[in-house]
Structure 1
Amino acid sequence: MKAANKRWTEEDATFVKNNLGKLSFEQMGRALNRSAMSVRLFALRNRLTVGLQVKRNILMEMLKIKFRHPEDFTPTRTFYTETGINQRRFWDLYYGRKNISSKEYAAVAEYLGVTLQEALDSRQLDLFEENEE
């Protein structure tokens, strides 16, 4: 039996980030002496995705305005119907796999009760922040 609640070391995290998409969760789990589910949950928790991502995840920035921890937001059926975004599309937007359209952006802002000014501020590019990176 594997040890429960083993802490993730920096080496483990680097291994997962480097091999995500190359090895299966089972193979990475065997290499790290962890379960496949543990590796999968680590990837989800840290928003690691395989493939291309958008440059700026505007939906995530809007969720950060409304919620201290955006991962606490769980969309409901009402959210999906009022915004006109289906589940698959929402999670693609959330993880940054696709860009949000202006219509979807306005619908989500209205649903969350984010004012127009706050929504526009989150979309503005802050040149000083981008230069620091």
Structure 2
Amino acid sequence: MTPEQMSKSLGRSPLAIQLYMHRKHIVVGQTVKRNLIQEMLRIKFRHPENFMPTRTFYREVGINQMRWWDIFHGRKNINQQEYIALSNYFGVTMQEAFEARQLCIFEEENND
């Protein structure tokens, strides 16, 4: 359903629906096949949705807010420079970061 359809069904405004989706990190229109940011955050934190970036975070990793949320929600792919900066910031070793990027055939078969 679109936000407009949900708003009519729930009796709320479309803006209220969009704000709720933003607060709860509900992704609409994910385009990347594997979200490497989510996988990296699962290594560092158990629940990636609990991570809330600060201005210091944006400054240290060199990613602006709009780019971060596009990458976090899977609307855009992360580039190598950003991936390295994020792994350094989160203290994820290069081995862990490399393993997160690897495709595991057995895990994908179990998900089907």
TM-score range, shorter chain: 0.7 to 0.9
Using structure 1 for the length normalisation, give the TM-score. Answer: 0.72
State the Cα RMSD in Å. 1.9
Residue 92 of structure 1: which of 46, 53, 70 is its match?
A: 70
**Residue identity opposite 1:49 in structure 2:** V
What CA distance in whole angstroms lies between the structure 1 residues aligned with 2:33 and 2:45?
22
Gaps of 5+ in 2: none
1:105–1:41 CA distance, 2 compared to 1 (3 A): same
2:50 matches 1:68: no
Aligned to 2:58: 80
2:108 matches 1:119: no
Question: Residue 32 of structure 1: CA displacement?
Answer: 3.2
Paired residues of 2:36 and 2:101 also in contact (CA < 8 A): yes
1:68-98 CA-to-partner distances (Å, cap 9, x unmatched) read 1111111111111111111000000000000
2:100 matches 1:107: no
Using structure 2 for the length normalisation, give the TM-score. Answer: 0.84
What CA distance in whole angstroms lies between the structure 1 residues aligned with 2:57 and 2:25?
24
Aligned to 1:49: 28
Question: Residue 43 of structure 1: CA displacement?
Answer: 3.5
Larger Rg: 1
Give the 3-state SS of the residue equivalent to 1:109 in structure 2.
Answer: helix
Higher RCO, 1 vs 2 (CA within 8 Å, ≥6 residues apart): 2
